[in-house]
């Protein structure tokens, strides 16, 4: 069995953003040489997510509005976590959007459903953060 590991780095200038990382993950898969197996992609921070959904800007706007309703950034003082920091909402948003995805690898390709794409969801940006790509198989 082969095994491959890589970290993808991000430095999002805004507090929140969704980035389609499917091309980077496909590049990792190519580099790995693995044709049959599984790829795991996970955020390595507790204020960011990795998730699969549609690459459609209206939907991304809807996610952002929905997450702000569930866990508004302001008022910052409304959260117990925010003692010396202001990212309690980012922890909650990450929890809803998830930590990781697993995708099947078949014949050297990500075995997606029709509209599936992999996203890095940033909820507390403006600093360097990363996601892990781990691929196993043969
Ligand atoms: Zn925090």
Distance 84 CA to ligand 1 centre (A): 9
Ligand 1 centre to CA of 16 (Å) is: 15
Compute, in angstroms, the gap from residue 88 CA to the centroid of ligand 1.
5
Query: pTM of the full predicted structure?
Result: 0.96
| Interval 25-84: pLDDT, tens | 999 999 999 999 999 999 999 999 999 999 999 999 999 999 999 999 999 999 999 999
For residue 51, what is the domain's CATH number? Answer: 2.60.120.460
In angstroms, what CA-CA distances link 73 with 69, 89, 123, 127?
Answer: 9, 5, 10, 18
Do you know the residue count of the chain?
138
Task: Give the confidence band of 97 by pLDDT, cuts at 50, 70, 90.
Answer: very high
Which residue range forms the structural domain that includes residue 46? 2-137
Count the domains in the chain.
1
Instruction: Report yes or no: 93 and 122 within 8 Å, Cβ to Cβ.
Output: no
């Amino acid at each position: 069995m082969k095994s491959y590991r890589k970290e993808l780095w991000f430095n999002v200038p805004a507090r929140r953003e969704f980035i389609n990382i499917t091309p980077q993950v496909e590049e990792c898969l190519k580099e790995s040489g693995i044709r049959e197996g599984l790829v795991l992609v996970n955020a390595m921070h507790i204020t960011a997510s990795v998730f699969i959904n549609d690459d459609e800007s209206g939907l991304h706007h809807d996610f952002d509005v929905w997450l702000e309703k569930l866990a508004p950034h302001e008022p910052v003082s409304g959260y117990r976590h925010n003692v010396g920091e202001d990212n309690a909402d980012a922890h909650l948003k990450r929890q809803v959007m998830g930590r990781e995805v697993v995708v099947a690898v078949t014949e050297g390709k990500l075995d997606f459903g029709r509209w599936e794409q992999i996203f890095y969801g940033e909820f507390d940006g403006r600093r360097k953060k990363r996601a892990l790509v781990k691929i196993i198989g043969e």
